Structure 1
Amino acid sequence: MKDYDLIIIGSGPAGFSSAIRALDFGLNICIVEGSHIGGAGIMNGALTSKTMYELSMDYSVAARTDRGYRSGSLSVDFKEVIKTVIHAAKEKQYQILSQIETFSEEKNGKGSLTLEKGWAKFIDTHTISITNKDSSKRLTAKNFIIATGAKPRKAPGLEIDHKRIINSEDILNLKKFPERMLIIGSGIIGCEFATIFSNFKQTEVHLLDRAKRVLPYEDNDVSEFVSKNLENNGVIIHQTANLRTIKKHPEHLEVILDYEAGNSMVIEVDVALVAIGRVANTDKLGLENAGLKTTERGTLEIADHCCIKETEHQPHIYAAGDVTGHTQLYSVAEFQGRLAAEQIADTPCYPLDYSHMSTLMFFKPELASVGLNEKQLRAHKVPHKVAYYSNKLVNRAIAMRNTNGFVKIIVSNDDQRKILGMRAGGPQASAYIVSVAHLINQGNSLQEVLKIFYPHPSLAEGIQECLRTLSGKSIYKPEAFPDLITFKEWNPEEPE
């Protein structure tokens, strides 16, 4: 049995980032991966879905006829789309493999990386077995990081056959564009795939929304913005509907939906995609052999520095990424993995602050968020002011002929007027949301931020004008454009 300084179970964003950070400290590391190198962050997840999204957006732009030009003969080949998506994933996988091979041998005492293919299971607190189709072996280590990620959540009473009733990991196995598709789940994943397939205009897309609006955790105006854009893109949204059953027929699926109002509807589709979230991959790790317990949700609860809680006797075992139950974002997994490696190396580090995470949602147009929204602030009874500024007034958006978007910023309703949160929709929203994340993290006040010069013409000028609206100094006034600019304030004493 070979002994390592650190064994990392999983090669996704949490696992790989922790391995490279641990390498900085001269540790000898083994990465264990049972499936795709790079995990769901690369294959059947973030990179593949976003590549497919970008291709669909390119197709959508090429199909436009309102810009003075028209494509002569526009067509799309599903097999070629999937081929391009897989090529993108493999490009990143080989970058990861190249780095592992570069550090595969110990050089001048600077540490090393080893990749073991197979499924890991704890034998005891310092030993794991690795099993694959050809062999089985045991490895030991002084420290462990569990970074096994998450898998698609199953729908109760619905069997996934991976052919006609599928989850997100089956998308790349489809042979052609479905003529009709039902997407079960109206969260971020469901809305993203609804956007992708409706962009290509080859599929009639039905989106099942159990609530009264998509993204129900967001403020109503943001949810309605997403919902309206999906419908304008051709998506049929079934709101306040529950799936009763799916009956399989040789050539189609018969879907029965029950609505909150009491009526039912029967629709016919070719493929049903289950997109109701993801659950932690912990069930086959033999955690009990290492004295570890999961939460009721199957996650591993971690302390500030990614040590697993309630494991005083095993302080050498850490967890990072989706398996911890925190927000399932690539950036969070990456940060947690690096933090765990720093803790193992006994290097001074800081606990992560999850309150200022930036989130990107790949819709048409894209949506970005950071900080708190109105619903959260009202729940915590925090006085605040909020302004909404439409891209229809932003010169760069007008020049791009792409004015479908907005900036919405919330500040504290006190003398400090600190920035608390932002939501932005439209082109390049993903690029400039991070600037506001920095402002929130630094605790900047509205007055300080208004001293900044913004380049012209830029979409970021919408941020400037939104901030000016909050201070009553905007160039364009809400009184003149009540449908494009809004301002309001809220205090806990006010009635709902």
Structure 2
Amino acid sequence: MAAKSFDLIVIGAGPGGYVAAIRGAQLGLSVAIVEREHLGGICLNWGCIPTKALLRSSEVFHLMQRASEFGLKAENIGYDLEAVVKRSRKVAGQLSGGIGHLMKKNKVSVFMGAATLAGKGKVSVKSKDGEETLTAKNIVLATGARARNLPGLEADGKRVWMYKDALQPPHMPKKLLVIGSGAIGIEFASFYNTLGADTTVVEVMDRILPVEDEEISKFAKKQFEKQGMKIMQKAVVKQLDRADDKVTAHIETGGKVTKHEFDTVISAVGIVGNVEDLGLEDLGVKIDRTHVVTDEYCRTGVEGLYAIGDIAGAPWLAHKASHEGVMVAELIAGQHAHPVKPESIAGCTYCHPQVASVGYTEAKAKELGFDVKVGRFPFIGNGKAIALGEPEGMIKTVFDAKTGELLGAHMVGAEVTELIQGYVVGRQLETTEEDLMNTVFPHPTLSEMMHESVLDAYGRVIHM
């Protein structure tokens, strides 16, 4: 059978791959996309989207328990875990179906199967119907990543879970251990803790949410502990003894190992890139710790071969993958493309309270040699936050004292995952403290705190 020929072949239909395919098609390229499992990838089917649906349920449940604070009555409050999960799966299904529609609309040829690079510009696709060959001058790898399985802590789907098990739980945990306090670990800890699980989080680093600014991590930890979470920092799970109805975890802290019993364990200890079985080594693609090495334009060093998203390294975020997809498609179509700057990409964690940040932490800015001015503003000083019944939180801004450049912004509290975009746009437009001070923020909104935090950095704060 003759090979089918395209201008661009994308391997992987997650938020990096399907966006690259759409942008390529918009620019007049003939595009094929190969996906072995689900359109929308992990993000839509088993990651960002279904977790947000679960967390929304737990947020509403939390508010129902606080009904009397708002002058409302809600009695005999409870939940049906099966129905909560069903809603989450329905949301994911609806969006995944939408990607199929977008592929059709943009005339992208979809091949469901496993892809291998069969040589330069050649992709072999194996599906249940057999094998076929596609050719293109340009190929984009967008195969993503999967959860890291540590030896001895492997998931079994019964008592020890990975994110997929935690999204479709076989039972409601009563006593839960979460290993790892990055975004995934903390979101699941937050969800199950809110639904009543006695939750312990173990983090190997000296603080939870280790990529966040230290002040924000400390603030979040206090809030989690107030909600009844136990947090163990500088701690390592050495082994798990599994029984039918429980797991005994050997946890080392300060050189001493103690045993703790749980009925459920969630492992969230990072990710590994999906680089296997693609034929990358034969083409001479450089791989470093399960990630494809690329330049700032996502080029692999092999002519016509690009890598975007999680497979190309940190930050492991869907919006970074999508933006790289657009950039690469534009590059292939001969347009002038701008590289994606990691420090301009916001990170959002949808725990309760939410956490969001962009740019450098205070410590990183100092380490890079900046003389900094730092501003802070607490939620307790904001009218809208008090009216919402959400007085716990803070906004922190970091400026270059010499130029007034906004180096970083860090937030913890209600709806900060939506607020952060204001600072992201500001950084993109190369804003200074003066621009932000002269911007009129609407009242009453949470966004006013963004203004106040800037004013505070320069000794001009009003409501504190």
TM over 0.5: yes
Q: Secondary structure at the match of 2:108?
A: strand
Distance 1:240 1:70 in 2: 43
Structure 1 counterpart of 2:201? 207
Distance 1:70 1:402 in 2: 19
Counterpart pick for 1:176 among 156, 164, 171: 171
Structure 1 counterpart of 2:404? 417
Counterpart pick for 1:291 among 284, 308, 312: 284
| Matched pairs, number | 461
Offset of 1:442 from its aligned partner? 2.2
Which segment drifts farther, 283-292 or 112-121?
283-292
Amino acid at match of 1:352: V
Structure 2 counterpart of 1:147? 142
Distance 1:441 1:5 in 2: 32
Amino acid at match of 1:253: V
Counterpart pick for 1:253 among 247, 255, 259: 247
Amino acid at match of 1:51: A
Counterpart pick for 2:308 among 320, 323, 338: 320
Structure 2 counterpart of 1:270? 263
Aligned partners of 2:212 and 2:357 also within 8 Å? no
Offset of 1:72 from its aligned partner? 1.2
Aligned partners of 1:307 and 1:318 also within 8 Å? yes
Offset of 1:51 from its aligned partner? 1.3
Aligned partners of 1:79 and 1:176 also within 8 Å? no
Amino acid at match of 2:101: S
Amino acid at match of 1:160: A
Offset of 1:468 from its aligned partner? 1.7
Q: Secondary structure at the match of 1:58?
A: helix
Offset of 1:368 from its aligned partner? 1.1
Structure 1 residue 160 corresponds to structure 2 residue 155: yes
Aligned partners of 1:389 and 1:406 also within 8 Å? yes
Counterpart pick for 2:115 among 104, 117, 120: 120
Distance 1:355 1:216 in 2: 16
Aligned partners of 1:358 and 1:437 also within 8 Å? yes
Aligned partners of 1:122 and 1:286 also within 8 Å? yes
Counterpart pick for 2:396 among 387, 390, 408: 408
Structure 2 counterpart of 1:366? 354
RMSD (Å) for aligned C-alpha atoms: 1.5
Distance 1:452 1:126 in 2: 50
Matches within 5 A, 1:312-351: 315-351=303-339
Distance 1:303 1:240 in 2: 34
Q: Provide closer, same or farther for how the CA distance between residues 363 and 159 of structure 1 changes in structure 2, counting only shifts above 3 A.
A: closer
Structure 2 counterpart of 1:466? 453
Q: Secondary structure at the match of 1:159?
A: coil
Offset of 1:134 from its aligned partner? 4.0
Aligned partners of 2:356 and 2:410 also within 8 Å? yes
Query: Equivalent pairs: percent with the same residue?
Result: 28
Amino acid at match of 1:264: V
Structure 1 residue 438 corresponds to structure 2 residue 425: yes
Q: Provide closer, same or farther for how the CA distance between residues 273 and 61 of structure 1 changes in structure 2, counting only shifts above 3 A.
A: same
Distance 2:30 2:190 in 1: 44
> Which runs of 5 or more residues in structure 2 are unaligned?
none
Amino acid at match of 2:364: Q
Amino acid at match of 2:20: S
Amino acid at match of 1:169: K
Counterpart pick for 2:105 among 102, 123, 128: 102
Structure 1 residue 46 corresponds to structure 2 residue 39: no
Counterpart pick for 1:34 among 33, 36, 39: 36
Structure 1 counterpart of 2:94? 91
Structure 1 residue 225 corresponds to structure 2 residue 227: no
Offset of 1:13 from its aligned partner? 0.6
4+ runs of 1 displaced by more than 4 Å? Answer: none
Structure 1 counterpart of 2:18? 16
Amino acid at match of 1:291: G
Distance 2:253 2:276 in 1: 35
Distance 1:251 1:464 in 2: 52
Structure 1 counterpart of 2:292? 300
Structure 2 counterpart of 1:490? none
* Post-superposition CA distance 1:309-362 (Å, at most 9, x none): 3x2xxx211111111013011111001011111111111222222221111111
Offset of 1:131 from its aligned partner? 1.6
Counterpart pick for 2:83 among 74, 80, 84: 80
Distance 1:448 1:123 in 2: 53
Distance 1:453 1:365 in 2: 26
Which segment drifts farther, 60-69 or 27-36?
60-69
Q: Secondary structure at the match of 1:13?
A: coil
Distance 1:318 1:453 in 2: 43
Distance 2:236 2:27 in 1: 52
Structure 2 counterpart of 1:192? 187
Aligned partners of 1:5 and 1:27 also within 8 Å? yes
Aligned partners of 2:375 and 2:455 also within 8 Å? no
Structure 2 counterpart of 1:7? 9
Distance 1:241 1:6 in 2: 47
> Which runs of 5 or more residues in structure 1 are unaligned?
104-111, 478-496
Distance 1:319 1:211 in 2: 30
Q: Secondary structure at the match of 2:16?
A: helix
Distance 1:444 1:37 in 2: 38
Give the greater-gyration-radius structure (CA): 1
Distance 1:318 1:338 in 2: 12
Offset of 1:198 from its aligned partner? 0.9
Q: Provide closer, same or farther for how the CA distance between residues 451 and 282 of structure 1 changes in structure 2, counting only shifts above 3 A.
A: same
Distance 2:59 2:410 in 1: 21
Offset of 1:292 from its aligned partner? 2.0
Q: Secondary structure at the match of 1:190?
A: helix
Amino acid at match of 1:427: A
* Post-superposition CA distance 1:401-449 (Å, at most 9, x none): 21111111111122x3222111112222122211112222222221232
Counterpart pick for 1:394 among 377, 382, 390: 382
Amino acid at match of 2:241: K
Q: Secondary structure at the match of 1:21?
A: helix
Structure 2 counterpart of 1:480? none
